[in-house]
């Protein structure tokens, strides 16, 4: 006969294994965007911060220092990992629905993912308890860094490779036509 202690230990291990989250497949920009939004909604700010590209993290860190100097009483909320996660500063991803990501446009190392954002409209008390929602599509820029898809906050010219060159060529053509 199996001792009760061993039996309960086995049951405990089985429960832990069955309750653990399966590892996510983050091979596509949509999967990364959904995982990022889940981390935001679950309040896992450090994990969400890891989804940003290196250049975006540097930009957020600089923005964090600037905001903390401007309003030192919010220093905790203005930490880089909290800046785009907590609703104190940048509400960019607050209403975005995790699981709603769909591919909008994709190139070799960049993509645009569209997600749904729910905004409250009719409120029982102004600003509190919305009774209706409007769903708005929002684009999230993605780039591939070291083989992994990352959220990019870069300038529009930097988001899609070749966009700047295309625009400059068009401007040169227009200026060349005007000069003739």
pLDDT digits (tens, 9 = 90+) for 47-70: 999 999 999 999 999 999 999 999
Supply the pTM of this predicted model: 0.69
* Angle at alpha carbon of residue 54, lines to 53 and 59, rounded to 5°: 95
pLDDT in tens, 122-166: 777 776 777 788 888 999 999 999 999 999 987 644 444 444 455
In three state form, how does the secondary structure of the chain look? CCCHHHHHHHHHHHHHHHHCCCCCCCCCHHHHHHHHHHHHHHCCHHHHHCCECHHHHHHHHHHHHHHHHHCHHHCCCCCHHHHCCCCCCCCCCCCECCCCCEEEEECCCEEEEEEEEEEECCEEECCEEECCEEEEEEEEEEEEECCEEEECCCCHHHHCCCHHHHHHHHHHHHHHHHHC
Q: Between residues 171 and 151, which one has the greater pLDDT?
A: 151
Q: What are the chain's domains?
A: 25-153 (3.10.450)
**Mean predicted confidence (pLDDT) in 102-112:** 91
Looking at residue 155, what is its pLDDT? Answer: 60
Looking at residue 42, what is its pLDDT? Answer: 93
């Amino acid at each position: 006969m199996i001792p009760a202690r061993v039996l309960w230990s086995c049951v405990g291990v089985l429960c832990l294994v069955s309750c653990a989250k399966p590892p996510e497949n983050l091979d596509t920009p949509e999967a990364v965007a959904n995982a990022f939004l889940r981390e935001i909604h679950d309040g896992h700010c450090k994990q969400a911060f890891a989804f940003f590209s290196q250049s975006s993290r540097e930009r957020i860190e600089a923005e964090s220092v600037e905001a903390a100097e401007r309003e030192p009483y919010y220093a905790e909320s203005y930490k880089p990992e909290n800046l785009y996660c907590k609703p104190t500063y940048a509400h960019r991803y607050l209403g975005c629905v995790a699981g709603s990501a769909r591919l909008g446009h994709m190139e070799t190392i960049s993509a645009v993912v569209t997600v749904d954002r729910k905004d409250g409209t009719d409120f029982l008390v102004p600003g509190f308890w919305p009774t209706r929602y409007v769903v708005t599509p929002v684009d999230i820029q993605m780039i591939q860094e070291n083989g992994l898809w990352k959220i990019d906050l870069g300038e529009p010219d930097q988001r899609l490779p070749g966009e700047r060159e295309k625009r400059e060529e068009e401007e040169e053509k227009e200026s060349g036509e005007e000069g003739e």
